[in-house]
Homo-oligomer: A and B are copies of this chain.
Amino acid sequence: MTLLQLRILRETVRHEFNLSKAADTLCTSQSGLSKHIKDLEHELGMSLFQRHGKRLLGLSEGGQAILPIINRIIQDSENLKGIAQDLRQADQGQLTIATTHTQARYTLPKPIAAFKQQFPKVHLALKQADPNEIRELVLAGDADIGIATEVLAEDAALVSLPFYEWQHCVIAPRDHPLSQLSASGQSVLTLSDICQWPLITYHDGFTGRSRIDRTFQQAGLTPDIVLSALDADVIKTYVALGMGIGIIAGPAFDPEQDQRLSQIPVDFFGKNTTWIAFRKGHLLRGFARTFIQLCNPEILSDSPRNPAAAMLHRP
């Protein structure tokens, strides 16, 4: 049994049992993979794949049984290298963060700037993606850390730590009736008030859109959403054009830059939590843990409401 054989098996599964593609990503020949798999099957004394003649269709029962262990072995071996690198040069390496527009644009600039100053030699890569892609990136090991509001906390294969809580807010052009209402101080904006106007907000699956939909649905209201965008900048642009009023994440409103708009805080959409996630069992380099602390210093405190934080120390 060889680590290479195990890696080949994992990669074959990842590429949907297409040996040719697996061989490509492993930078070797198909024939090599074929032989290695055969050897492994011979050593374990059972076939690992379902075959139709010479086609690989899926894992056999035995293959399914051992795949989790194989994955752990490979993960451990990668962690080994990570630890070694950490001990050797704790301030160098690569940190890949997958995150959404909202986080990258409004929340992360500050912690990233602090991180860059503290670890100038670390190559920090920011991958912008939608929440589902972020989850995939983290699960595949193509990103060390994922940051998003959606999806992450629901995945059992991820360790998700709460980053911060926020609420949606309503934005409107400065000369909009709602803005007057808000400025007068007697802001008792209701959900049905909002439904009076054409709405612009996030696309499905982005930045708490699901929560917005649920709120309207539970109130029995049908909002007139005239535009759904992937990010707050697009929303703000069209709100400023007078196409409607916007619903964006609170942190996405910048009083200085968004002087053409006014912000009306509302609380009926409920609280959202943005999560910082990494793959279970994935060893985070020291500076990666530091980055998480820079994002939210409280994450470190092993408070009872946050048992997942313990994973940070002993993954």
In the complex, whether A62 has a CB less than 8 A from a CB of chain B is yes
Q: List, in ascending order, chain B residues with CB within 8 A of A83's CB.
A: 62, 65-66, 69
Q: B69 touching A79 by the CB < 8 A rule?
A: yes
Least Cβ–Cβ distance between A52 and chain B, in angstroms? 21
Query: Which one of A70, A83, A85 has the highest number of Cβ atoms from chain B below 10 Å of its Cβ?
Result: A83
Which of B46, B76, B84, B87 is A76 in contact with, Cβ under 8 Å? Answer: B76
Q: List, in ascending order, chain B residues with CB within 8 A of A87's CB.
A: 46, 61-62, 65
Q: A46 touching B1 by the CB < 8 A rule?
A: no
Q: List, in ascending order, chain B residues with CB within 8 A of A45's CB.
A: 84-85, 88
Q: List, in ascending order, chain B residues with CB within 8 A of A77's CB.
A: 1, 73
Within 8 A of B (CB), among A46-78: 46, 61-62, 65-66, 69-70, 72-73, 76-77
Interface residue tally for chain A (C-beta within 8 Å):
25
Q: B70 touching A80 by the CB < 8 A rule?
A: yes
Copies in the complex: 2
Q: List, in ascending order, chain B residues with CB within 8 A of A85's CB.
A: 45
Q: A81 touching B3 by the CB < 8 A rule?
A: no
In the complex, whether A44 has a CB less than 8 A from a CB of chain B is yes
Q: A81 touching B46 by the CB < 8 A rule?
A: no
In the complex, whether A2 has a CB less than 8 A from a CB of chain B is yes
Q: B73 touching A76 by the CB < 8 A rule?
A: yes
- Whether A44 contacts B1 in the complex (CB less than 8 A), given A69-B79, A76-B73, comes out as no
Q: A88 touching B1 by the CB < 8 A rule?
A: no
Among residues of B, the one whose C-beta sits closest to the C-beta of A41 is B84
Least Cβ–Cβ distance between A50 and chain B, in angstroms? 15
Report the bound CA distance from A80 to B66 in whole Å: 6
Q: A1 touching B3 by the CB < 8 A rule?
A: yes
Q: List the interface of chain A (C-beta within 8 A of B).
A: 1-3, 43-46, 61-62, 65-66, 69-70, 72-73, 76-77, 79-81, 83-85, 87-88
- 6 new A-B contacts, CB < 8 A, other than A45-B88, A62-B87, A72-B72, are A1-B77, A2-B3, A61-B87, A66-B80, A69-B79, A76-B76
| 30 A–B contacts, CB within 8 A, in A order | A1-B3, A1-B77, A1-B80, A2-B2, A2-B3, A3-B3, A43-B81, A44-B80, A44-B81, A44-B84, A45-B85, A46-B84, A46-B87, A61-B87, A62-B83, A62-B84, A62-B87, A65-B83, A65-B87, A66-B80, A66-B83, A66-B84, A69-B76, A69-B79, A69-B80, A72-B72, A72-B76, A73-B73, A73-B76, A76-B76
